[in-house]
Amino acid sequence: MEELRLTINMLPKGAWNNDFSKTLSKKDWDKLRTFALKRAKGKCEICGYETDDLDAHEEWDFDIKNKTQTLKYIKAICSHCHGVKHFKNSVRLGFGEEAQKHFLKVNNCSEMQFASHLNKALLEYEERNKVFRWKIVADLEKFGGKDIDIKQNDIPLIKNPYENVDWDKLSYSETKTLFDIKRNDNLIGAPKVVSIEVNNYQGTIQIKSLFTDKIEWYLDGEKIQTKYHTAGLFTTKLKVKDLTGNQLNFKLIGIGGETISKIFELLSQEVL
């Protein structure tokens, strides 16, 4: 098959918050966006559709061995081509069929060729998801961004002490081995952990618990955050971005007592 004019580009999970539209200030991103729009002169740089409502799309090359994502270009494209670029999201929003039709039209190809290209994109996506952190590489001067500083996402890796716990099958006796539980002298039990989910792509720890009035987070023994709750299931999330420390843990506090977690280790990106 000849080289496609319009391709599907799935960002791996570790790169979801690395695009310049999120990491740069609005002023700096507008410089890059305006540069692309002026070059396009109101015409989609992929399919040629004329409109005054073009999107600035970042396309990246990924190097799994070196864990780098290098900016390939920033193109001004129409919403139809943008929907194909982010095909997985278009499917999620219910526009998958429209995106497929646009792909076939722009590339003048068959449904079999589309299926082959989509399968390749999905395989690349899964392979790239093995990398939790990507280093951003870009020569922004080529895209109208002279003197703009590139900001790397400083997110440590979280070593989860509860990684292999099956929360749906956890017995009370097993719970006592996983947490330091301190009960008050009343009929209400200490806070109960329902689940713990660590997302090492985005650097978050989500806690769900019952009988909890508040949660306190500690980094190397120092309290860094407190969140309060009133009643029912308590769902809370901590972001570890920009945290500088090694040992993280939480304490759930309720009228029935306290539940204290084991240590979550924070590892530098160099170990990834």
Assess whether 24 and 137 both reside in one domain.
Answer: yes
pLDDT at 270: 56
- Are the C-beta atoms of 124 and 87 separated by less than 8 Å? no
How sure is the predictor about 2, in pLDDT bands with cuts at 50, 70 and 90? low
Res. 94: pLDDT tops 80 = yes
Per-residue pLDDT at 17: 86
Q: Are residues 71 and 129 in the same domain?
A: yes
In whole angstroms, give the CA distance from residue 82 to residue 266. Answer: 37
Which pLDDT score is estimated for 269? 65
Q: How far apart are CA 149 and CA 147, in angstroms?
A: 6
Q: What is the reported pLDDT for 188?
A: 76
Radius of gyration, CA atoms only, the chain:
24
> Do 110 and 167 reside in the same domain of the chain?
no
Question: CA–CA separation, 70 vs 85, rounded Å?
Answer: 17
Q: What is the C-alpha separation between 40 and 82, in angstroms, rounded?
A: 15
Final residue before a domain boundary, out of 86, 111, 143: 143
The mean pLDDT value of the chain amounts to 94
Q: For 198-219, what is the mean pLDDT?
A: 96
Q: What is the DSSP letter of 51?
A: -
Is residue 8 a part of any domain in this protein? no
Co-location of 101 and 214 in the same domain: no
In a domain, 3, yes or no: no
Higher pLDDT, 89 or 2: 89
Q: Are 163 and 91 in the same domain?
A: no
CB count within 10 Å of CB 168 equals 7
In a domain, 136, yes or no: yes
Distance CA 4, CA 2 (A): 6
pLDDT digits (tens, 9 = 90+) for 95-125: 999 999 999 999 999 999 999 999 999 999 9
Last residue of a domain, one of 82, 110, 143: 143
Residue 79 lies in a domain: yes
Q: Are residues 21 and 130 in the same domain?
A: yes
Mean pLDDT of 146-172: 92
Distance CA 99, CA 85 (A): 9
pLDDT at 92 over 70: yes
Interior/surface letters 36-57, b for 16+ CB within 10 angstroms, e for the rest = bbeebeebbbbbebeeeebbbb
Token digits for 264?
A: 């979550």
In this structure, is residue 152 part of a structural domain?
no
Tokens of 160: 């989860």
* 120 domain residue, yes or no: yes
DSSP SS3 for 181: strand
| Pairwise CA distance, residues 76 & 34, whole Å | 9
CATH code assigned at 161? 2.60.40
Indicate if 129 and 165 belong to the same structural domain.
Answer: no
Do 25 and 52 lie in a common domain? yes
| Residue 254 falls inside a structural domain | yes
Rounded to two decimals, the pTM is: 0.84
- From CA 147, how far away is CA 63, in angstroms rounded? 25
Among 119, 143, 167, the domain boundary falls at 143
The count of domains in the chain is 2
For residues 186 and 232, membership in a common domain is answered with yes
pLDDT digits (tens, 9 = 90+) for 57-79: 999 999 999 999 999 999 999 99
Please tell me whether residue 66 adopts helix, strand or coil conformation.
coil
Do residues 21 and 100 both lie within one domain?
yes
Look up the domain containing 263 and give its range. 157-271
Cα–Cα distance for residue pair 114/105, rounded to 1 Å: 11
Q: pLDDT > 90: what percent of the chain?
A: 90
Q: Are 210 and 204 a contacting pair, CB within 8 Å? A: no
Residue 30 domain-assigned?
yes
Is residue 126 domain-shared with residue 213, that is, in the same domain? no
For residues 129 and 195, state if they share a domain: no
Better-scored residue on pLDDT, 173 or 207: 207
